[in-house]
């Protein structure tokens, strides 16, 4: 799962997301990556993101998980306007037990996972040798294909503690 914030107290919003996941019925938070400072992708903003990736186990269906994540985002000030813009909290299902499907609201794996260094870098930290369920390449291999300038723009901030 991808977690990001570029409004307000970004670190606090990322911590709150992890706490909310820990408390979500049917979800077990296993581990999470370091926190990274990343430029916005897909829209123009001078506000950089704090991003990380978390590994969870869940008994929820992908749809139930998605709707639960939307509730967490809303509870943390996220406003969905239909356009990509700055946000207090952004939660994305990146992978779901190797599932593959595509719909208007949810694609598994996340349709742009392999194109985003800000996702691949923390994903490699957690699951370096795991393979993308469609591309059949490890996340390390996918990251190696990203432009060096894109990877250099991402800075590690260190571990994110929940205390």
3-class DSSP assignment, residue 120: helix
Q: Where are the domains positioned within the chain?
A: 2-158
pLDDT tens digit sequence for 19-53: 999 999 999 999 999 999 999 998 999 999 999 99
We find that the CATH architecture of domain 2-158 is 2-Layer Sandwich (3.30)
Residue 68 CA to its chain's centroid (Å): 15
- Residue length of the chain: 163
Q: Could you please report the per-residue DSSP string of 3-45?
A: EEE-SSSHHHHHHHHHHHHHHSTTEEEEEE--EEEE---SS--
What's the pTM? 0.95
On the question of a cis peptide bond just before residue 109, with omega within 30 degrees of 0, the verdict is yes
């Amino acid at each position: 799962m991808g977690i990001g914030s570029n409004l307000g107290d970004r670190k606090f919003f990322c911590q709150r997301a992890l706490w909310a996941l820990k408390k979500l019925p049917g979800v077990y938070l296993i581990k999470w990556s370091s926190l990274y400072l990343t430029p916005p992708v897909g829209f123009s903003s001078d506000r950089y993101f704090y991003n990380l990736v978390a590994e969870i186990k869940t008994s929820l269906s992908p749809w139930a998980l998605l709707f639960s994540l939307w509730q967490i985002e809303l509870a943390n000030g996220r406003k969905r306007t239909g356009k990509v813009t700055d946000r207090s909290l952004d939660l994305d299902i990146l992978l779901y037990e190797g599932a593959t499907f595509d719909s208007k609201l949810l694609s598994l794996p996340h349709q742009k996972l392999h194109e985003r260094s800000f996702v691949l870098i923390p994903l490699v930290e957690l699951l370096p040798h795991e393979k993308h369920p469609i591309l059949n390449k490890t996340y390390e291999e996918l990251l190696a294909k990203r432009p060096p300038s894109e990877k250099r723009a991402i800075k590690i901030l260190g571990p994110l503690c929940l205390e």
